[in-house]
Amino acid sequence: RRSHARGLDDSKRQPVRTLSLVYAPTRPGKHYICGGCAGMANIMMTFPVKKVIFRQQVFDVPTTEAIRQLQRDGMRTLYRGMLPPLLQRTTSMAFMFGFYNDLSRLLPRPAGTPGLLTSSMAAILAGTMGATLTPFERIQALLQDHRHHGRFNNTFHVFRTLVQDYGVRELYRGMGPILLRNGPYNMLFFGLRGPIKNSLPEAESHAGHLVSDFVCGGLLGATLGLLFYPLNVLKACKQTQVGGKFQSSWQVLRTIWSERGGKLSHLYRGAHLNYHRSLLSWGITNAVYEFLRKVM
């Protein structure tokens, strides 16, 4: 009789256990929150380095001269323009990780096709959606350019001035290079992240997993940053222009190439510093994302 009662109790408890197993892993918004927090941590730690790289991309100056420019501007303006990348990075990382995971689940997987095809499509679509955040990068570029320090006061002033004086379209100047960058970048990042981590020594502790995630994200982000660096130079040069004709990316690239003497090394000015910044920033992003994903 006792065993029969135990069986009844077990049968009553069974649905509760089944429900928890079904619903716990699919907590709504989890990947968006983890990605957003990872992006926020990244920008807060690496913004000054990013600003030095921006000066090199736009003005074709060595690292020492870019640092001297920031020193002349003073500490008061060192973090000028941080709000747009903070908002942009937080939102874009939320989109990147959140949309990728959602689309990977929702996109159909036709019989006979590898899962890699679906995950690649999900990554490209997530990157394309992230390009809608172009206005954040546009405003950031203007606030970081010292030629516009006397014209624009802050993020909201830039936004209001561009919309009132030039129209909404002006906010999306430079969107072409961003579209060319985001899709392929996401596809390579999500496609290679797993294999790179699997090639590292197996972690046996929480700290070990954190280090592995940092190394994996850092190496991958730094390598991809170097690969797509010319697109970032093109984007920066297009976005520092206010008003005037919207030139094609090809036209702007030809102008940059001509002004820099046709030297590939000048097109990669600042790339070495960007490599080390990407190593740090993507290491932070990947490690924070994976840590939050596991604890939430």
Q: Mind giving me the DSSP string for 212-233? A: HHHHHHHHHHHHHHHHTHHHHH
Q: What are the C-alpha distances in Å from 78 to residues 39, 171, 265?
A: 20, 23, 27
Predicted structure pTM score: 0.77
Q: What are the C-alpha distances in Å from 166 to residues 2, 186, 241?
A: 81, 32, 12
Residue ranges making up the domain that contains 203: 28-104+118-295
Answer yes or no: is pLDDT of 108 > 90.
no
Interior angle at CA 278, CA 215 and CA 229, nearest 5 = 135
Query: Is 6 part of any domain?
Result: no
Query: Is 61 part of any domain?
Result: yes
Query: Residue 113 — very low, low, confident or very high, per pLDDT cuts 50/70/90?
Result: low
Residue-level pLDDT at 111: 58
Residue-level pLDDT at 114: 56
CATH number, residue 187: 1.50.40.10
Query: Is 2 part of any domain?
Result: no
Query: Residue 26 — very low, low, confident or very high, per pLDDT cuts 50/70/90?
Result: low
- Kindly report, residue by residue over 82-101, the tens digit of the pLDDT: 888 898 889 999 999 999 99
Query: Residue 156 — very low, low, confident or very high, per pLDDT cuts 50/70/90?
Result: very high
Residue-level pLDDT at 179: 94
Query: Is 146 part of any domain?
Result: yes
Residue 156, classed as helix, strand or coil, is helix
Query: Residue 9 — very low, low, confident or very high, per pLDDT cuts 50/70/90?
Result: very low
Mean pLDDT of 137-159: 89
Mean pLDDT estimate for the chain: 85
Residue-level pLDDT at 28: 66
How many domains is the chain built from?
1
Q: Mind giving me the DSSP string for 76-90? A: GGTTTT-HHHHHHHH
Query: Is 248 part of any domain?
Result: yes
Residue-level pLDDT at 205: 87
Query: Is 125 part of any domain?
Result: yes
Answer yes or no: is pLDDT of 250 > 90.
yes
- Residue that wins the pLDDT comparison between 89 and 17: 89
Query: Is 221 part of any domain?
Result: yes
Query: Residue 54 — very low, low, confident or very high, per pLDDT cuts 50/70/90?
Result: confident
Mean pLDDT of 269-293: 92
Kindly give the residue spans of alpha helices, DSSP state H, lying in 240-270.
249-259, 264-267
Mean pLDDT of 219-244: 93
Residue-level pLDDT at 15: 44
Mean pLDDT of 199-226: 92
Query: Is 216 part of any domain?
Result: yes
Answer yes or no: is pLDDT of 131 > 60.
yes
Mean pLDDT of 104-110: 77
